[in-house]
Amino acid sequence: MQKDQDILEAVLAEFQEIAKIPRKSGHEEKISQYLFDVIKAMGLKVEQDKKFNIIAEKPATAGFENMPVTILQGHMDMVCVAAEGVNFDPLKDSIQVRRNAQYLYAEGTSLGADDGIGVAEILYILKAEFAHGPLRAIITVDEEQGMSGSIALDPKYLAAKYLINCDSENYDVVTVSSAGSVNIDFLRRPVWRDPLYKAAYQITVKGLLGGHSGEAINCGRANAIQTLALTLQKMQGMGIDFELADFTGGMARNAIPAKASAVILIKPDNTKKMEQLLQDFKIDFQHIYGNVEKTLKIDLTIIDQPKDVLSKEDQDNLIRLLCVLHTGVYSMSQSIPNLVEASANLGIVETKQNAINVQFFPRSAIDSKVSEFKQLAQVISELTGFHLTFGSQSPGWAEKSESKLVPLMTSVFEEQNKQPMKVEIIHAGLECGWFFQKNPDLDMVSIGVTAIGIHSPEEKIELATVAPQVKLIMETLTRLKNV
């Protein structure tokens, strides 16, 4: 096996090429073709299905032909988030990868190591020469947005005994179970009218931490969309009449929004009252979130009068919806300490000429709890006059009590790293839920390099964890022969 530094450089070289290709969820054609061409050039059998998922086969080495198939799995899409003021087109622009002695990160945007680094590791392992049984690489599309790649994957590709998912965020943790989820969309066809007031302002809530709505949901972070909605609701309660021309916020359904903005029109004599209310709201906010959210900003900017505003009914119902939708932890596990059992994220709101769209994303380790969220959403939609649509409900992944892969991997990790490997159940959703539904006999784990700030411009990975991760996978694949 290569030295750690050589492994690191080889994996990063693979990642650099991946990062050059825009791969926002739902737009994976180019990255899929790139992966197809790279794997084909290795001389391996490779397929590209109708969804652009990639499936590759690497034959067993001599003496390992009778071993069962092991799947290495990751996803090719990424959450595209840019820092405030950064000009970034996720459909056209490459990720500007940077590196220092400790971390790999991006210049002004999310890095896409979730799950680009997992895919890079898989490519490295497909090229590497070491003892192993038959391997199958499955690289899916659209994991971040709707898991449509794993949903559509033909079950025949999951005919295997073991599966190693390379999409977790701590190199010393092996995940053995994950939460299910469902995409919920609230849609309303707006009625627009001429504005009555002339004083137009944009109110922007920004400077919040944001982050992954599964991994960071229990960190006490504020949701910019709901913070802004509560601000507008408080204005209504204080008798500051306004007209709403726009409400926009969030970057991804499964990312806690760090920024939201609204365009309003008010009577000029209400300006000072509004300014004072915003100052008071910031003080109240700090009392609630001050230990976590230390850089909140609420900007008030004078703008030109928009040509139209929402009807009073549309405006009031939108604000009601954004205020009452639960966002954050909903319940904690009754059996596992400190594990979030159910949560929800208010991820995106868009106000367009022909539609107001609100994207809501509940998760739970208990499938029936996700179904309960759907029932609650139905009630809320009826109360606010929004049309409701549900995506496919992603199933949870239950722990396999008789796993052979978990004890082997933890043993190899401890031998290689001189420290124990933690076995965990996570609240975030993984594609393993769909794989489990299609093949409940799969012995699965999820692992990954140590990543920080995924789904945010602060995303970075610890370089020192890359080579140990690769060595763990390769040695585990070799030792499966004796399990």
Name the catalytic one among 28, 77, 115, 144: 77
Q: Which residues contact 52 (CB under 8 A, 6 or more apart)?
A: 28, 29, 32, 141, 149
Instruction: Give me the domain span that covers residue 256.
Output: 184-390
pLDDT at 333: 82
Of residues 114, 143, 144, 475, which has the active-site annotation? 143
> Pick from 390, 412, 442: which residue ends a domain?
390
Residue 334: pLDDT over 80: no
**Distance, CA of 286 to CA of 191 (rounded, Å):** 36
Residues 114 and 252 in one domain: no
Task: Tell me how far the alpha carbon of residue 467 is from its chain's centroid.
Answer: 24
* Residues 427, 283 within the same domain: no
Residues 240 and 308 in one domain: yes
| pLDDT band, very low/low/confident/very high, at 233 (cuts 50, 70, 90) | very high
- For residue 399, what pLDDT is reported? 86
Compute the average pLDDT of residues 382-408: 91
- Please tell me the predicted confidence (pLDDT) of residue 22: 97
Q: Are residues 336 and 209 in the same domain?
A: yes
Percent of the chain predicted with pLDDT > 90: 88
pLDDT (tens digit per residue) in 142-158:
999 889 999 999 999 99
Same domain, 412 and 429: yes
- Residue 321 pLDDT: 98
Say what the pLDDT of residue 368 is: 87
User: Closest by alpha carbon to 309, among 421, 450, 191, 410?
Assistant: 191
> Do 375 and 402 belong together in one domain?
no
What is the rounded CA–CA span in Å between residue 452 and residue 472? Answer: 21
Average pLDDT, the chain: 95
Same domain flag for 33 and 121: yes
pLDDT at 335 over 80: no
pLDDT score for 127: 98
Q: Kindly state whether residues 218 and 329 are assigned to the same domain.
A: yes
65 in active site: no
Mean pLDDT of 77-94: 94
Domains: count for the chain? 2
226 & 248 share domain = yes
Q: Are 325 and 360 in contact (CB under 8 A)?
A: yes
Model confidence over 98-152: pLDDT tens digits?
999 999 999 999 999 999 999 999 999 999 999 999 999 999 999 998 899 999 9
Q: What is the CATH number of the domain that holds 107?
A: 3.40.630.10
List pLDDT tens digits, range 24-62.
999 999 999 999 999 999 999 999 999 999 999 999 999
Average pLDDT over residues 60-86: 96
208-221 residue pLDDT tens: 999 889 889 999 99
> By the 8 A CB rule, do 167 and 431 touch?
yes
Whether the predicted pLDDT of 20 surpasses 90: yes
Where among 390, 417, 449 does a domain terminate? 390
401 in the same domain as 463: yes
- Give the residue with greater pLDDT, 393 vs 346: 346
Active site residue 4: no
Write down which residue in 342, 370, 390 finishes a domain.
390
Quick one: tokens of 341?
Answer: 């059992």
**Both 133 and 79 in a single domain?**
yes
Please indicate, yes or no, whether residues 285 and 382 belong to a single structural domain of this protein: yes
pLDDT at residue 396 in the model: 84
